[in-house]
A and B are shown apart, each in its own frame.
Chain A
Amino acid sequence: MATINLTLKVWRQKGQKDKGRLETLPAPGISTDMSFLEMLDVVNERLTLEGKEPVAFDHDCREGICGMCGAMVNGLAHGPERGTTLCQLHMRHFRDGDTLMIEPWRARAFKVVKDLVVDRSAFDKIIAAGGYVSASTGGAQDANAIPVPMETAEEAMDAAQCIGCGACVASCPNASAMLFMSAKVSHLALMPQGRPEAARRVLAMLRAADACGFGNCSNERECEAKCPKEIKITHIARMNREYMKAVFGSARE
């Protein structure tokens, strides 16, 4: 089993209102088979035994689907690998002697809770504004009543697989939530079940994002480059079209 020795520079911040700083933590003897989070577990177990407080970080499923984990590693959201969440990033992608700068997502809308943990409730607010189909339980017709072309369903699925981790926001120089938002707008706009509310949805979600303090899109494409689910910015283009249709084509608002 190969092992490497690393030096971590980790963001430590006690609470939202406290001042943060980078702390240097040695991480010796890291197995290259470990995931990035397992490496942090090892460092944390040592800190605990030394009577220090471990580094707080969010994580849950550790198989790249819950969207709970994430941090900037040397300035890159979820680290250097493409299409990979932090929990699925393995230490074999680093070299012996590397220094890793580990910081939380930075955005006005994502306040630091502690160390690497941030508050992403703004995403929930955006979804609550309109990221759903208003179909209450019990009234649905037969599932096969409306055919949906396979290609349409596949494209909707490409967007729907967003895990809401926030890497897009953290990677964007404007801290924009456009990729996140467009993934939901696009998914529901493509499906026939989502069409009746399409205009209202896009307007409400954009308004909510503005209110939460997310920036605008200036086509940097950093979000697409770092999205662990490789969601394409063509969904932002579709959202923009939906927006134009809503503004010019709808009687509402």
Chain B
Amino acid sequence: MKLESHAPGGPIETRWSRHKNQIKLVNPANKRKYDIIVVGTGLAGGSAAASLAELGYNVKAFCIQDSPRRAHSIAAQGGINAAKNYPNDGDSVWRLFYDTVKGGDFRARESNVYRLAEISTAIIDHCVAQGIPFARDYGGLLANRSFGGAQVSRTFYARGQTGQQLLLCCYQGMMRQVAAGKVTMFPRREMLDLVIVDGKARGIVARNLVTGELERHAGHAVVLATGGYGNVFYLSTNAMASNVTAAWRCHKRGALFANPCYTQIHPTCIPVSGGHQSKLTLMSESLRNDGRVWVPKKQGDTRAAADIPEDERDYYLERKYPSFGNLVPRDVASRNAKQVCDEGRGVGATGLAVYLDFRDAIQRDGRATIERKYGNLFAMYEKITADDPYTTPMMIYPAIHYTMGGLWVDYNLMSTIPGLFVLGEANFSDHGANRLGASALMQGLADGYFVIPYTIGGYLAGTALPQVSLEHAAFKDAESGAKEQTRRLLAIQGRRTVDDIHRALGRLLWDNCGMGRNDQGLQEVLQKVPELRDEFWKNALVPGGADDFNQSLEKAGRVADFLEFAGLMAKDALTRRESCGGHFNEAFQTEENEALRDDENFCHVAAWEYKGPDAEPERHVEPLVFENVTLAQRSYK
């Protein structure tokens, strides 16, 4: 299979405008004849649903929560990047483009990233027009802050709740279209299959989570915006219901899955407190500006932090990286924390934590200064842990929080299945092997507000799409497949809870396919995942019935898919014989423990094709061509 990106050539600055000028248009009077299915109502899905409805398309929007206002985009804290250059500090579309390509360790498609940077400014204009209360300076103009190591201030924010404000703004835009009759909202629905007629995506089968009923929905195109797969690790900063099911079912119907091994780990999360832990909470990375990271020099040292004298502490980041110290990049900080804990020098009840100590900063700057900078974060930490970070050091540990991999899409955001478009975190397109801070919100909204409204028109106008009946064999087939899976899940009646098996999967992946990977560990994953999958299908216990509000059943279906997906993630990691960004194979590193790429052999996207339940997936390659930036080794010396 040849993966055709359909990205226009020529000067990168004008690619998107030229492309837009050439896209076929759908006559306004004809738009109302098209039904578009949008699955997921986070930033990408919500903005797409609102914008497509504004254009006149009939939108059917689906979400698993009780309301589209709940999607996990809401939890994003830091902000959204845009190349506005309001602070006059030299930012430009070019710089945002370059930073994103470099931050992604040169594993993203240049054309897409440039378009993202170009669109970024219009997103801010639109969000302000919708009344988002962004932070402002005394003069009433928008405030910016720097973020994620960027050398310019280009991040717009609404306190620590930027994701919430952006999502509610999409949601409100969508509800306006609900009132106008252009969006029909289907909350508490879970997409269980994609329906393909004549080779094109023409509908979905969804389960009504309240009644258990399987519903058939037809449309002229399907837009998937169902987020990332971080919860394959069981513990992550994702919301509890975030899952890979919709994307995975599309994959099984023929959509290629790109770069599943690209996962991002955030170094400063509140550590696991015990086996009951259900999810992890992020603490802003800015804390490393003043906190010092350390562990005891001795293994198994159970003394309280205050009782450990200075010469028995190992400030390992400062020791190993004298020039960057505690401010090394996310991936380096994360891997080092894991390493010291693996050595038995971790702290806290579980031994899976390191200290982030503000003692010296408080002595140097005074408590008031530290409180002004980090007061809200310290309060949040205290609420969760009941420890006071002013007097005892914080404990932190890395956690999975974003996945760069996803369904493969071309420049039009269309997958390898015609008519199936994939937006936001669910696609693979813009962040390469590593995402920069404040870029996830930007991408979700760029895709939904400013890309899909153009590209979907081109598809619809240029494709013959006769009406399909809900009685078509493809709908019946998809529905009976979903029904059969539900029946099988409820019939297992084993002795182990789904959560218990999910925890075992998460632990296996975290240990072997997380921050630091090696061939042996990845082989172990490939061997043990099928065993766990067998265990699941023989011994899982799913209570309740099919025709009911049954959260255990929902969870079981998602874990069943994670158990299939996990194998692909490990296989992708094992096949990529290099390290890049969030994918770190210990065999490929520089002397400074940086990811060592192999541009000669792996400067490409790996996109996997599903070949059947017992067959090996096939790996396809989209070469990445860099005409505008020079590939370089990231160095933080």
Q: A and B, one complex?
A: yes
A-B contact count (CB 8 A): 217
With A49-B497, A133-B129, A153-B135 known as contacts, the answer to whether A148 contacts B278 (CB < 8 A) is: no
- Is B139 interfacial (CB-CB < 8 Å)? yes
A37–B240 CA distance with the chains assembled, in angstroms? 11
With A133-B130, A135-B130, A138-B126: A62-B239 Cβ-Cβ less than 8 Å: yes
The reply to whether B274 and A33 contact each other, CB–CB distance below 8 Å, is: yes
- A191 sits at the interface (CB 8 A): yes
Interface string of B130-150 (1 = CB under 8 A from A): 111111111111100000000
Cβ–Cβ < 8 Å partners of B276 in chain A: 31, 33-34, 38-39, 41-42
Q: Is the CB of B130 within 8 A of A193?
A: yes
CA distance A144 to B143 in the complex (A): 10
Rounded to whole angstroms, the CA-CA distance of A198 and B594 in the bound complex is: 55
Known: A42-B276, A135-B130. A124 touches B185 (CB 8 A): yes
Question: With contacts A90-B383, A127-B171, A137-B450 known, is A149 near B549, CB below 8 A?
Answer: no
**One of B157-165, B246-254, B362-370, B405-413 at the interface:** B157-165
Are A113 and B125 also in contact (CB < 8 A) when A37-B278, A137-B51, A137-B453 are? no
**B332-374 interface bits toward A, Cβ cutoff 8 Å, 1 = contact, 0 = none:** 0000000000000000010000000000000000000000000
Asked if residues B175 and A124 are in contact (CB atoms below 8 Å), the reply is yes
Q: Point out the residues of chain B lying under 8 angstroms from A42, CB to CB.
A: 276
Q: Is A54 interfacial (CB 8 A cutoff)? A: yes
Contact at A54–B131, with CB atoms within 8 Å?
Answer: no
Kindly specify which of B68-76, B390-398, B465-473, B627-635 makes contact with the partner chain.
Answer: B68-76
- CB <8 Å contact, A128 and B142: no
The docked-state distance in angstroms from the alpha carbon of A88 to that of B380 is 9
In the bound complex, CA of A52 to CA of B497 (Å) = 12
Set of chain A residues within 8 Å of B124, measured between Cβ atoms: 143
Across-interface contacts of B500 in A (CB, < 8 A): 45
Interfacial chain B residues near A49, Cβ < 8 Å: 495, 497, 541
Are B158's CB and A157's CB within 8 A? yes
Query: Complex Cα distance A54/B556, Å?
Result: 14
Indicate whether B273 reaches chain A with its CB closer than 8 angstroms: yes
Q: Does residue B551 face the partner (Cβ distance < 8 Å to A)?
A: yes
Distance A51 CA – B278 CA, assembled complex (angstroms): 22
Confirm or deny: A194 has a beta carbon within 8 angstroms of a beta carbon on chain B: yes
Residue numbers of A with Cβ under 8 A of B are 1, 14-15, 31, 33-35, 37-39, 41-42, 45, 47-49, 51-54, 56, 58-63, 65-68, 84, 88, 90, 92, 113-114, 117, 119-121, 123-124, 127-129, 131-144, 146-150, 153-154, 156-157, 160-161, 163-164, 187-188, 190-191, 193-194
Can you offer 11 A-B residue contacts whose CB atoms are under 8 A?
A1-B274, A15-B548, A65-B164, A66-B239, A128-B178, A128-B179, A139-B129, A148-B133, A154-B133, A163-B164, A191-B131
